[in-house]
Structure formats: C-alpha cells, structure tokens
Amino acid sequence: MAKVIDGTAVAKAIRDDVASRISAMRSRYPRFQPQLAIVQAGARPDSSVYVRMKAKAAEEVGILFKHISLPEEAGVDDVVDVVKKLNDDESVSGILVQLPLGPHVGPEGERTVTEAVSTEKDVDGFHAYNIGHLCSRASVPLFAPCTPSGVIKLLETTGVQIAGSEAVVLGRSDIVGSPVAAMLRNRDATVTQCHSRTKDLPDIVRQVKRADIIISAIGKPEFVKGSWMKPGAVVIDVGTNYIPDSTKKSGQRLVGDVDFVSALPVASHITPVPGGVGPMTVAMLMFNTLKSAERLWEKARERKVKPLQLDIKEKVPSDIEIAMAQTPKPVTRLAGEIGLQPDELESYGKYKAKVELSVLERLAHRKDGKYIVISGITPTPLGEGKSTTTIGLAQAIGAHLGRPAFACVRQPSQGPTFGIKGGAAGGGYSQVIPMDEFNLHLTGDIHAVSAANNLLAAALDARMFHEATQSDKALYSRLVPAKKGKREFAPLMFKRLQKLGIEKTNPDDLTPEEITRFARLDVDPETITWNRVVDVNDRFLRKITIGRNSTEQGHERETGFDIAVASECMAVLALTTGLADMRERLGAMVVATSKQGDPITADDLGVGGALAVLMKDAIKPNLMQTLEGTPVFVHAGPFANIAHGNSSILADRVALKLAGTEQGDSPDRTGFVLTEGGFGADMGMEKFCNIKCRVSGLTPDATVIVATTRALKMHGGGPDVTPGKPLHETYTKENLDILKEGCKNLAKHIENARKFGLKVIVAVNRFSTDSDAELEVVRTEALAAGADAAVVSNHWAEGGAGAVELAKAVVAACENDSNFKFLYDLNTSIEQKISTISKEIYGADGIELSELAQKQVDTYTRQGYGNLPICMAKTQYSFSHDPKLKGVPTGFTIPIRAVRLSAGAGFLYPILGDMQTMPGLGTRPGFWEVGLDHDSGRVVGLF
C-alpha cells in the first residue's frame, strides 16, 4: 500500500518555518515586515474563498495582508494602475492578482496584468521573466510558481531520487503543468509531458506505465488509474474536481485526477485530494512572500558603489584634461547604487540630478552615518587642497575601503572660477566630475539665489519710492485695492497686521492711524543693509548710486552690490531644514530699520512667498560624482570669509541618512559623510560648529585639518606667496627650520578644534617638492600638538589610492563618539560672543567696535536679535583681521567695522577690518584661458 503524503502537515511545517524566520528577522531588525497585497476584481465566491485562505495564512505567519478589492467591471488599465502603485510601495513585499478577472477580461488582458507586476514582487511566479528563467537551465527565477513549488517540496519529502528518474506530467498549463515539467528537468529528470493533444489514451497509458514520478494536473476526475502505473511510482495529484455524491450535504465530493482507490495499492507514495497539494500552494505563497521581503530588505539597505577606474599618469595632466578623460557613470545608476529610488531623482542631463527631500522622510528611521568636517590650516592664496582632500578621502573610503562615503561640498561661484583662485572641484585625480558643469551653472541654484535677492532689493526701493510719492489713503488703496466692489487683505498681509497688533480682518474697518501704520514701512535709508548681488567679481559695483533716472523724481541713494554667494538668500538655502522652514526664513530677512526703530522684513514688503517660489527647486541638493564614481552632494555656496562657508544642512542630512544604518546592522555597515568647511579651521570649521550645528542639531564625529608644507613655511617666515608669480625656492627646497616654526599655525588650529571636543586627524597634503624629512616634521608636530592622527596623503597624484591610510585613520578615529560642544552660550551679549571668538579662536587681546558697529549692536539687541550666533567676516589669510599677520599672531585687537543682521539665516555677521563683500578681479584673471573646443563643444582651459 502506498504511503499517503500528508500535504497539510508539510504545509504547516513550511508555514512554521516562515513564521520563525520572520520572528528572528524582526527581533534583529524591528522594521522588517513582509506584506502581501492581493488585487481582486469582483467577488466571485471561489476567488473570495481563496483570498480568505491566503489572508488567514498570512496572519498566522506574521505577514501583513492588504486586500485591494475592485469592481467586477474594472478594466485592464484600472488593474494595472493599482499594480503599478503597489510596485512602487516599498512596504509591499509581494503582489498577487487573483484570477480570473471580470468576464470581459480575456487571457490576453490577464497576461497584461500579470506582466505589470514587478518581477521582484511576483510572488505568484507568473511573470514571463520568472517563467522564462524557470525554463532555462542557465538561470534561476526570482520566484517559482507556488503550486509547482509545492509539488517539488512534496516529492522531496518522499526521498525519491529525482535526478535520472522517468517523470510524466499530465497537463501543460502555465500555472502547473509546464512549470512543474521545467522544474523536474532542471533537477535532471527525464520528463514526458502529456496533454489534451496527445494522440490517444493508449499512448498516455504507455508513458505513465514507464514513469517513476507521475504528476497529474489535467482537471479530469479520477482519470488516471492504478493499473496504468508502474509499481512503486510516486504520484502527485494536483487535480481539484467535483463529482456528484448524494452522501454529502452539498451533493458533491472533491476528488483528484487520480483514481485514489486503485492507485493506492500500486504507488509507493501518493497525495490525497483534499489534503495533498492544495495546502502547499498557500504555504509556498507565504514562503515566496518572505523570500521577496528578505531580498527587498537587503536591496533597500544595499549600497554597492561600483568604482570607476582611473588612468593614472606619472606626469599629472591639468585638472580639466583629467576630468575630460574620465567618463562618468549615468547619475541614475549612481543614485541606484547609493539607495535612492527613481522617484527621488530629478535629472539635469546625464550626470547630475537634484534629490527630492522626501528621501529624508523615507529614511527617517535610520541612524546617521559618521559626520566629519574637512577643514585646514590658514591657507596661502593658492589654496592648500582642502577640496581635493575632501574628494580624495571620499574616493579612498568609498572606492578602496568599500564603505559608503559621501562628499558634501559647496557650489563654486563664478567669482573665483573666472578670477584667480579657481573652482572648487578638487584637483588632480581627486575631483568632482563633470568638473566644467560643477564650476559653471550646475542646476541654476546660484541664479535662483540672485533672482530672489534682487527681487527683494527691487521691492524695497519701489516701496520707499511709492511711500515718498503718495498719501496714506492712496497708498492703502493701492495696497488693498477693491475688486468687484470688495476689498480683501492678501494672505501675507495678516502677518504684518499681527505684527502691528491689529486683529481686524476687514480692510474697511481700519482706523486712519492703523492705515498709516499698516501702509507705511517708513524705512530709514541710513539703516538699509540689503544690497543687490551679481555672481562675478565686479569691484566697481561695491558702491553705486541708484535712482538717477528722472522717473524716480530725485529719490537717489547710495548702495552697492555683493557677490551672489554672499547673499543672505544663499545663507538661508545653506541653513534651511525644509521648504516650510525656508519660506519662514526668507520672509524673516531684515532689510532695514524703520524710523521708529522696528525691523523691516521681506514679509513686511510682501515678497516672502515670491522669494520661496524662486528658490523652490534650489532647495533640493545636487548629486554628482567623483572621478572614481563615488557620490558627491553639491549644494549651496556661501563664502567662508563673508558668510558661514559651509554646504547645506539638507545635503548633509540626506547623505547621513543614505550612509546610515538600521537597528541591528553591524558597525562595519556605517558610512561616512565628509562635509567641507571653507578656508582655515578658524573660519569654516568654527562657523560649522557654532552656526551650522546649532541649526541642524547634528553632531560631528571628527575634523580633518589639511596642512601643506607650503603654507606652513609661509607662516614660519617664508616670502609672500602670490598667484601668478613663481614660488620662492623656500617652498621648493627643504627648509626644516622655517617649516617647524610654521607648524605653530597648525598647532593653533588643532588646539581650536579640541575646544569643540572634536577628534582631530591632520591630513598632510603631499606636494611633489616635499622631502620625506619635511613631511615627517609636520606629522610629528601635529601629533605633539594633540592630533589623534597625522597622515601624509598623495590623493592629488594617485586618487583615492593615495589617501587610503588617511581614510583608515578617519575610520579609526570615528569608532568612538566625540565630546562635541559649542564655544559660547547664545544667551551672552553680542559683544561677548564676538569677543569669545576673537580671543579663543584668533588669539586676539580683545575687540574694538566702531561707532557704527556699536550702534548696530544696540539696535539688534533692542529688536530682539541679541541671542543669534556670530558669523565673522574676515580675511582668510590670517588668524587676525590683517592678512599680513602670519603664523600665530598675538598682541592685536580685532576692529569691528560694522555688524550686519541676517535674521532669516539666523546669525549676525561682524565685518572685520577692510573685509569686502564684493571681491575684485586681478590684472590677469583666470578667464583668459577659458574657451570652447569648436569641434567637440567641450570646455577648455578651465584650470
């Protein structure tokens, strides 16, 4: 007698295993949650029974269940739309369309629907992709169909040797017959498939008689007889047929395709109906859903950046030659590698894209990656390779150590790009590419900032003109005009009414006194701090006279231009935490003080909403890549000697989440975000800590301070370093005494970083003329000054490979948390905060406020802005206000020429000494070299 295969017991064992695996995964990863979605059109009783069975099984094993019920008349397009939404829903692990659909949907329509299911979520195994791979010996499908998989599982429980056996499959449906035949062939069985077109019954009987394994799925009740079978054959009956049975309450009985009674004495193993294959279908559906959830879970966490190979030349070519020789990977591919979803990307051409802020919400559960600010010693006018180090280090960690690594850098202004300093893409074999696009318009963010800034300037001057040339009544009538006989306040006007303490909502209810207060901003021209901007170094716009045309009726005033990246709009972009926050910050920007002593804001002028509209796309970080194909976020570009000198909080936050980890992840999955602070640590790093970190709430793990022998020799007493002039031999030949003296500048920067509780890694950026002895002096002096590590790095000439030891030092330093702290308390006075920075960071004896600066400090304190952090605007070439004072100067007092308010950005910025907010072009600017190759259209001569 055959042994009856208990499909119910086998199915239960599979479900128990699924439940156990889900429980184990959730204990490690609490967010892991498989979910099965079933789409059903109509309410056929048999379909509804199947759906309920699947729902019950899902509940038992811990799989969430989503049932999408559509009307019976739903068309193919309607079902496909639902399926596509489920494809995009990352909470859904598996999708099953319950067939059949409505009677109006034929086989072709049903195939269209099943083909719409993502192959990664096709837990039914019906997609042509999975069926095709199932039938190929050279590949493995993502999912095998549930019923055929259940058949194979039942076969395996019998212990039968499938390989080399003779198997007959009765039936050729896409649901059972053909997939089972393919699975048996892939297990090295010799398979004969019989179906409705097989010549005659005797032929079928002959085939069955030879079979070691018989699989029947033809839908004919009790068709296969025991007399047809070879003794000892294993029989799997997939049939579900109803025959009349008066003994049953329903009047019918469920039987299989096999005559169970006659087969029982012949077969060695046989499945009953019911209780055989039936329970296995649902069990394998649960198994496939878990399998899908596990795969999707790993994929969502997968961050496998495929590096680009570098063609290193012994003689390093120009930056642009290196950049143009490398072919970037498509930005869409890079985005997929770092874990961004397609709908989170807005491409600008092939190689750059904006990233939607929705990624922050999607990854909110993640623990942030490690956060490192890249800073430097006090530089020469040639720069010391801080951007190059940022990129080289990102390449080393990402392409050579295989850890997630993101560089976050500022977008360069056209000012330095076409001036002397050059762009900020890095250099040598450590660059952002495409470097020409990086250094020019990118995605238009700086243009958006300029447009917003200048709209506000235009609004201010226009308002002053109209107030000066109209009566109160006329001014009010134009501000709140009657439309169809009715006057209404614009929505933004309620903010001004609230500010004035006027609670009325009907424009006709204001008193004459209230009308005057509402309509007249009454700007004091002497207090205007808002300039126009342009993104070039144009020294002749530093001071201008406006209103000279006769149409302005003699209302002239002196004003000026700043460089675009010095605009408060740019600072707002860099410091905002979201769209709503940016709108509020833009509206809160103060442009002047009224004659009554009140601050006048962009919202008072009615332009706050328009500014936000101009900058709504600029708020999205820009994604680019390094020469080695690792990710770079380029966002915002505030100058470091005028503004706060750091890329955006949003770019850092996105990168930290993409580099972050799930609960349960091992520490070696943690990624690294390298964000650059402009110029020396006394500027970019100090402002990063005291301003950017206060707003973001993010805590840095370490700082990298970039040093070069060239800059240190200059601080040790070497001759001036002047752009365009050959370097003095002091800088090209070994001179240990001058170098050691200059290391005091490095030591002061290390000391300053320690005041913030940061771990310090010194990156000694190697130049070709450096001797081993000089490099060892710098390394030794850095360690003696308190650095946690000091590593010589040659990433300019070797790319990421030249920064591997530096990368290892950074990784090691970040293994333990930092003890980060701020330098000063916001609640101290403005003067005290300025003094603290001057004494603690610069080493000054004290500060001296001009009469104007003191008046401004008093005004801002009275207006309620005294608790803002401080953003010092000073020279980058000295710890002091005087660029001539090199090394570690002492015995000096910091002169504060003026103090400006950036209420929207959220800081006050004192202007030290002769610092200008609009740079000028030199005699020989960099634009002389820039041009186009007329044949290829490529940029040439850009560095």
Q: Residue 923's pLDDT is what?
A: 47
Percent helix, strand, coil in the chain (nearest 5)? Answer: 40, 15, 40
- In order of their start, the domains of the chain are 319-443+617-814 (3.40.50.300), 446-499+507-615 (3.30.1510.10), 830-911 (3.10.410.10)
Supply the residues annotated as catalytic: 54, 98, 124
**Using an 8 Å Cβ cutoff, are 580 and 588 in contact?**
no
DSSP 8-class letter at 864: T
Burial 640-672 (b: 16+ CB within 10 A, else e): bbbbbbbbbbbbbbbbbbbbbbbeeeeeebbbb
Q: Which two tokens stand for residue 499?
A: 């500010």
Two structure tokens written together for 726: 């050959």
Residue whose tokens read 């990102």: 394
- On whether the CB atoms of residues 397 and 672 are closer than 8 A, the answer is yes
With beta carbons less than 8 A apart as the criterion, state whether 331 and 347 touch. yes
Q: What is the DSSP letter of 390?
A: H
DSSP state of 841: I
C-alpha dihedral sign at 579, 584, 586, 587: positive
How does pLDDT run across 73-123, given as a tens digit for each residue?
Answer: 999 999 999 999 999 999 999 999 998 888 889 889 999 999 999 999 999
Report how far residue 80's alpha carbon sits from residue 86's, in angstroms, rounded to the nearest whole number: 10
Query: Which residues on adjacent β-strands are paired with residue 661?
Result: 367
- The pLDDT value recorded for residue 816 is 87
**Residue 909, Cα to own-chain centre: how many angstroms?**
31
- Ramachandran class of 722: left when φ > 0, alpha when ψ lies in -120 to 50, beta otherwise: beta
The one-letter amino acid at 586: L
293 within 8 A of 58, measured Cβ to Cβ: no
Dihedral angle over CA of 338, 344, 347, 351, nearest 10: -10
Return the exposure string of 574-597: e unless at least 16 CB atoms fall within 10 Å of the residue's CB, then b: bbbbeeebbbbbbbbbbbbbeeee
Given a cut of 50, the residues of the chain with pLDDT beneath it are 923, 928
For residue 796, the model assigns a pLDDT of 95
Task: Judge whether 337 and 366 are in contact, CB under 8 Å.
Answer: no
Residue 916, pLDDT score:
66
Per-residue confidence (pLDDT) for residue 928, from 0 to 100: 42
Nearest to 758 by CA among 694, 674, 816: 816
Determine the pLDDT at residue 535. 87
The closest of 343, 344, 349 to 331, measured between CA atoms, is: 349
